[in-house]
Structure 1
């Protein structure tokens, strides 16, 4: 029997300053799964009392960010004026639209304490007609996220709509982000409920598909979502995500996503020049920021400066 697994991606380390995360998307062979264009698995790691998460103010366009924690705490501030702590089981959903700036830090009351940090940072592309929309922000409490158990299998629908359930996260296109946990070996068949493209991330334990075993920190991309059937071999945690892909290609540079490359160039210029009309300051966190990575844009600027001096 031919396996329904079309691609196997190993989690790879990525540096976001003083913190290492496991990057799942994008990958060379697969730039997106449905509308999901970027997934970082944070931790699990222990931040000592002298270590803190400090992701400085940085910009986004053309996407929604989804932050979901399993342990730890992050304090979110953004250029819309939102300032809120996100705790385990809660969801921060921020839609950048035409442009937003935000920071993510260890809360002040925890900055001299040890803390385990574990969770997901996810980017989801926007439909073309919303790429230039006004930015918005929503915080969804743990008790609002649908949870249920069926035949010994625990489900949690973090975002989207599936299996007759709907998360309150205000998504902008058909998608799903589902947590599945088992304590004992179980056979799970949810293919009839899935649509579009689908990926499965094995966080803990082992799953068996068509007689082949896949282990921890592997991302599996299905060839056919409707054939999604797997077995867990014991205590296992997996995350199913996906949905309808966009008809237009999405391009990415740094923190910017858009269907129009010209909008990426415009965003680069605005952030490079610190245009606060395009990217407003973050209230109470406006003294520092993440600079634009060196790129063709920067090299061109350097060349122009050198040429000017020579003249």
Structure 2
């Protein structure tokens, strides 16, 4: 859902610090709240100090937003290349349409995976029956960079309902393994590289051990954590070292997202385009300006112009 006219780093300037003497945490990222036309977004990735965590190159926390009747999410058709978007809601609903003909309402607990590959166009709006009454929206939207071998694959769309996402209990902590494998469970959501994405709800005083991964981070959507004695406050992301046995303790009731996976190498990013090749982004910009990308089925009349 990135429709900014600036680069992510310019539009969302984060404050980042490295805790002194902390071997577990390499970086703390504090996103700035930004309004995107009626709802708040906190962008934790990318930053100038940290572009990616594993294959994850973009991390937005949407809301919670309160919409009056007649208002809501209304993101016009826009393009992507060489990445996959992952949408996961805590509350509310978003209507996904794309140039493959997909028409899918995304509801809390569902996992919506859109693989852009060589190019896709999509819109994010709401069904009329949602917009006509007062409602809330709260959730996360992330982008995965695709490994170079998969950057130009055919675009695809995968939707996994809430019931298909595995749930486990770790010492009383309810955990959902959204992507990859952790805590003895493996998600059915398709991955293209070693990928980790987990949601956990901890009551104050509860603890879990951070799963191992090549790179990993934790975002605190609600509440507060202590990681090996270092405070991670609400709406902050902690990027961790590879130190084993890192313990996360909730100092207040907390809802967290754990992300990570294998390092993919350098990626370029401009507007809604991500690629390992700068020239590929320039081509995508020219194609969108010329309107040669495929149209969104059922949403062909509008589009977001290329930022100048």
Task: Calculate the TM-score normalised by the size of structure 2.
Answer: 0.90
**Residue among 92, 109, 113 paired with 1:89:** 109
Deviation at 1:108, TM superposition (A): 1.5
Match of 1:175 in 2: 195
Structure 1 residue 208 and structure 2 residue 226: aligned? Answer: yes
**Residue among 283, 293, 296 paired with 2:307:** 293
- Identify if the C-alpha distance between structure 1 residues 2 and 41 changes in structure 2 by more than 3 Å, giving closer, same or farther: closer
Q: List per-residue Cα deviations over 1:243-276 (Å, max 9, x = no partner).
A: 0011x3111011000001110000000001111x
Q: Which runs of 4+ in 1 moved over 6 A?
A: none
Q: What CA distance in whole angstroms lies between the structure 2 residues aligned with 1:225 and 1:167?
A: 25
Q: What CA distance in whole angstroms lies between the structure 2 residues aligned with 1:206 and 1:131?
A: 37
Deviation at 1:227, TM superposition (A): 4.2
Listed as ranges, the matches of 1:221-300 within 5 Å are 221-224=239-242, 226-246=244-264, 248-275=265-292, 279-294=293-308
Match of 1:218 in 2: 236
Deviation at 1:18, TM superposition (A): 4.2
- Conserved 8 A contact 2:96-2:123: yes
- Conserved 8 A contact 1:60-1:96: yes
Deviation at 1:17, TM superposition (A): 4.1
Q: What CA distance in whole angstroms lies between the structure 2 residues aligned with 1:15 and 1:80?
A: 30
Match of 1:67 in 2: 87
Paired residues in the alignment total: 288
Listed as ranges, the matches of 1:1-311 within 5 Å are 2-190=22-210, 193-224=211-242, 226-246=244-264, 248-275=265-292, 279-294=293-308
Q: What CA distance in whole angstroms lies between the structure 2 residues aligned with 1:172 and 1:211?
A: 34
Q: What CA distance in whole angstroms lies between the structure 1 residues aligned with 2:34 and 2:193?
A: 28
SS of alignment partner, residue 109 of structure 1: helix
Deviation at 1:163, TM superposition (A): 2.5
- Conserved 8 A contact 1:21-1:42: yes
- Conserved 8 A contact 2:196-2:258: yes
Q: What CA distance in whole angstroms lies between the structure 1 residues aligned with 2:279 and 2:306?
A: 17
Deviation at 1:28, TM superposition (A): 1.1
* Structure showing greater Rg: 1
- Conserved 8 A contact 1:196-1:225: no
**Structure 1 gap segments, 5+ residues each:** 295-311
Deviation at 1:236, TM superposition (A): 1.4
Deviation at 1:13, TM superposition (A): 2.4
Deviation at 1:160, TM superposition (A): 1.5
Q: What CA distance in whole angstroms lies between the structure 1 residues aligned with 2:80 and 2:301?
A: 18
- Conserved 8 A contact 2:203-2:250: no
- Conserved 8 A contact 2:201-2:255: yes
Aligned CA RMSD, in angstroms, stands at: 1.4
Deviation at 1:212, TM superposition (A): 2.7
More helix per residue = 1
- Conserved 8 A contact 2:228-2:246: no
SS of alignment partner, residue 203 of structure 1: strand
